[in-house]
A and B are shown apart, each in its own frame.
Chain A
Amino acid sequence: MGTQALNMDIVILFLMALAALWTVMTRSLLRSAIGLALTSAMLTILMFRLHAPLAAVFELSVCSGLISVVFIATISVTQPMSQEKVLQHMRDRLERFWYLPILLVLIGIVLSFVSFKFNLSVPLPEIEKDPRVVLWNQRPLDLLGQIIMLLTGVFGIIILFREAKQK
């Protein structure tokens, strides 16, 4: 892999980390779901660049697309917190996690000086390229598992965030 391509991957990784950070730090649940979709989109680009188009397509369609749509639809049945509560949350977070970005940057700087040398030259296994075959013939159980996972997510969001609307 060329140095330019590697630099590009690092930039995308950085953007992905940024989107993920925004997802967990933003005060709005809706923005959080959008952040999740963005994180997923960055991961999709990385997967394409790492020559895993099948995984990239699934990441884009399921995580970035379907899950975001379901989450946003579910979030729409809830109501946002009051302005006062939002400010209180922000203050609490700043007090508790102010050191995290500094720590992240420091770790990044330290790791950039360390050269890791792993001998992981294993030939890539033969994997089916046709998504229909993968989904319906090879991994139907995973598909079922993901549907159940999605249902769990929906239940989770309704249970944890629904009360605001009732009030």
Chain B
Amino acid sequence: MLSLMILIPLACLLLISFLPLKGKRVAFAVVMALAFFQIYAVFSPSIMANRHLPGLASVFNFTLAVDSLSRIMLLCIGIVIFIALLAAGPFVKEEDKRFYFSGLMILELMGLNGVVMVRDIFSMYVFWEVAAAASFVLIALEKKRDPLEGAFKYLIFSSVATVFVLSAIAIILLISGSTSFTDIRVALLVTPHSNLIILAVGVFLAGLFMKAGVMPFHGYLPDAYASAPAPVSILLAGVVTKTLGVYTAMRIVIDIFGFSTALKSILLCIGLISAIFGALAAMGQKDLKRLLAYSSISQVGYIFLGFGCGTPLGIAAAIFHIFNHTVFKSLLFVNAAAVEDRLGTLDMGRMSGLASRMPITGTTSVLASLSLSGVPPLAGFWSKLFIILALWQSGLYGVAVTAVLTSLLTLAYMLLLQRRVFFGTPEKNMAGVVEAGFNLTLPAVILAILIAGVGLFFPYVVHTVIFPVVSF
């Protein structure tokens, strides 16, 4: 039944592609229904049980699998696609553009679902490329100078990452004779070619770090996030880089390579650099979306810090932070979209006192900022606390203290953002500004409820959703 997570979107894509123009108008609704189906499927034991399709449909019984980690990622993908679609209304107005946007969202959905569910390193690469290609076209959707430049940078970095990952896959195939996760893991345990394995791990991780956009592999990320249309920024920041970079790195380390001391050191080092310098770079930004992009780099650093501990608590904390980051960063990009929709600019120097004009956007933005900065009792506080506890438990006291100090830096730049954009007295040119439409306030409210809900009910969420992930 897991095949349905790819086959149903594919069937929908073909269906809407062959519909006449009137039918194409329903494309948005179709993608939204697909996102709903995905969220439902994550909680449906019958679909997640991976029963084989009966009768003629048995030709579509692919080798797919899900565990708790995959389910969390599938949930994140469903939520972000739904939110991005809701927010797309004011930004993708022409009818045919709406159709192509919907088609690309379905392709992105299939690519990401494939990456999350496959258990074969080459199949993972194939779906990885599908998602990357769809992202590239989505960034360039508006065909203006900045989006094209952002898309081009994304394409170049993606190609380099592809070369790294494909080279690593070739080395692994040479050593193990297979591309299946299980076979590779068994083969790597007995192979005498330890130097080749180190080379493969290094090259593979370099490719994944590029996709995750961690420092110093982040060159494309601020341009891609800032220049993409608002709904695409939500998609990229919320789920694309997390799935293609962070999740894939987690999957191959957990299922194939395992944690070694050197690997942990690399992950911790990259995580620390990214967390600190991402936050420092965010401090100096004037463009709202660029600030959020650098903030993403910093938060992905936190995820790698937790994961780099290699302990069950660290891995659980990293996964919890992926979910939280998906929610609060999507919300902040929805807020940025609302501001862009009303003011037509993202230059923070030309904004002030927007909270009084846009109360829903202002309030939800404060909530997301506090969650991102790790203020209790919001969701972001708990995942950051777990990351710091995991670091402390692993004896990495210096790193833990640095992570706390970086969190203060995060609070500082998020408060600066709030002060420049939402607080203070509105300037004269803000006189006519009113709250954003339903398309942008509804997703903001949904995400804000999620942030507060996960924070308040965190013992339940952690014990039923997060900790089962590390029960391997």
Q: Does A124 contact B (CB under 8 A)?
A: yes
Enumerate chain A residues within 8 angstroms of B111, measured Cβ to Cβ. Answer: 148, 152
Contact A120 B196 (CB under 8 A): yes
Q: Does B177 contact A (CB under 8 A)?
A: yes
Contact A156 B127 (CB under 8 A): no
**Considering the complex, which residues of chain A in the window 42-79 have a beta carbon less than 8 Å from any beta carbon of chain B?**
none
Per-position binary interface string of chain B over residues 170-214, scored 1 when its CB falls under 8 Å from any chain A CB and 0 otherwise? 000111111000000000000001001000000000000000000
Are A126 and B140 CB-contacts (below 8 A) given A144-B62, A145-B123, A149-B130?
no
Contact B6 A144 (CB under 8 A): yes
Q: Which one of B64, B103, B196 contacts A122 once the chains associate, using CB atoms below 8 Å?
A: B196
Complex alpha-carbon distance, A146 and B143, angstroms: 26
**Considering the complex, which residues of chain A in the window 113-150 have a beta carbon less than 8 Å from any beta carbon of chain B?**
120, 122, 124-126, 139-142, 144-146, 148-149
Which of B13, B130, B136 is the most central at the interface, judged by chain A CB atoms within 10 Å of its CB?
B130
Complex alpha-carbon distance, A144 and B110, angstroms: 10
Q: Does B114 contact A (CB under 8 A)?
A: yes
Q: Closest CB of chain B to A146's CB: distance in Å?
A: 7
Contact B137 A152 (CB under 8 A): yes
Chief secondary structure at chain A's binding surface = helix
Report the tally of A-B residue pairs with Cβ distances under 8 A. Answer: 78
Are A148 and B100 CB-contacts (below 8 A) given A125-B177, A160-B143?
no
Q: How many of A's residues come within 8 Å of B, CB to CB?
A: 23
Are A159 and B126 CB-contacts (below 8 A) given A141-B118, A145-B114?
no
Q: Does B107 contact A (CB under 8 A)?
A: yes
Q: Does B146 contact A (CB under 8 A)?
A: no
Contact B173 A125 (CB under 8 A): yes
Q: How many of B's residues come within 8 Å of A, CB to CB?
A: 37
Q: Does A80 contact B (CB under 8 A)?
A: no
Contact A125 B178 (CB under 8 A): yes
Contact B107 A126 (CB under 8 A): no
Are A145 and B137 CB-contacts (below 8 A) given A125-B174, A151-B107, A160-B143?
no
- 13 A–B contacts, CB within 8 A, in A order: A122-B174, A122-B193, A124-B174, A126-B177, A141-B62, A141-B63, A142-B126, A145-B114, A152-B137, A156-B133, A158-B100, A160-B143, A163-B143
Are A140 and B62 CB-contacts (below 8 A) given A122-B175, A125-B178, A149-B126?
yes
Q: Closest CB of chain B to A16's CB: distance in Å?
A: 15
Complex alpha-carbon distance, A125 and B122, angstroms: 15
The 6 closest A-B pairs by CB, nearest first: A125-B177, A145-B126, A156-B137, A141-B62, A152-B133, A141-B123
Enumerate chain B residues within 8 angstroms of A124, measured Cβ to Cβ. Answer: 174
Are A155 and B100 CB-contacts (below 8 A) given A120-B196, A125-B173, A141-B118?
yes
Contact B120 A125 (CB under 8 A): no
**Considering the complex, which residues of chain B in the window 87-105 have a beta carbon less than 8 Å from any beta carbon of chain A?**
100, 103-104
Q: Which one of B10, B62, B110, B137 contacts A160 once the chains associate, using CB atoms below 8 Å?
A: B137
Q: Closest CB of chain B to A150's CB: distance in Å?
A: 10
Are A155 and B126 CB-contacts (below 8 A) given A122-B175, A124-B174, A144-B6?
no
Q: Does B149 contact A (CB under 8 A)?
A: no
Are A149 and B133 CB-contacts (below 8 A) given A122-B174, A142-B122?
yes
Contact A152 B196 (CB under 8 A): no
Enumerate chain A residues within 8 angstroms of B64, measured Cβ to Cβ. Answer: 141
Q: A140-B62, A159-B104 are in contact. List 11 more A-B contacts (CB 8 A).
A: A122-B193, A141-B123, A142-B123, A144-B6, A144-B10, A146-B126, A149-B130, A151-B107, A155-B100, A155-B104, A159-B140
Enumerate chain B residues within 8 angstroms of A153, measured Cβ to Cβ. Answer: 133
Are A155 and B137 CB-contacts (below 8 A) given A141-B123, A142-B122?
yes
Q: Does B129 contact A (CB under 8 A)?
A: yes
Enumerate chain B residues within 8 angstroms of A125, measured Cβ to Cβ. Answer: 173-174, 176-178
Complex alpha-carbon distance, A135 and B328, angstroms: 42
Contact B6 A156 (CB under 8 A): no
Complex alpha-carbon distance, A124 and B59, angstroms: 31
Per-position binary interface string of chain B over residues 31-51, scored 1 when its CB falls under 8 Å from any chain A CB and 0 otherwise? 000000000000000000000
Q: Does B141 contact A (CB under 8 A)?
A: yes
Q: Closest CB of chain A to B455's CB: distance in Å?
A: 37
Q: Closest CB of chain A to B57's CB: distance in Å?
A: 13
Which of A151, A156, A158 is the most central at the interface, judged by chain B CB atoms within 10 Å of its CB?
A151
Q: Does B134 contact A (CB under 8 A)?
A: yes
Nearest chain A residue, comparing its CB with the CB of B101:
A159
Enumerate chain B residues within 8 angstroms of A139, measured Cβ to Cβ. Answer: 122-123
Enumerate chain A residues within 8 angstroms of B140, measured Cβ to Cβ. Answer: 159-160
Enumerate chain A residues within 8 angstroms of B6, measured Cβ to Cβ. Answer: 144, 148
Nearest chain B residue, comparing its CB with the CB of A158:
B100
Q: Closest CB of chain A to B465's CB: distance in Å?
A: 28
Are A145 and B130 CB-contacts (below 8 A) given A125-B178, A151-B107, A156-B136?
yes
Contact B123 A152 (CB under 8 A): no
Nearest chain A residue, comparing its CB with the CB of B117:
A141
Which of A158, A159, A160 is the most central at the interface, judged by chain B CB atoms within 10 Å of its CB?
A159
Complex alpha-carbon distance, A151 and B137, angstroms: 12
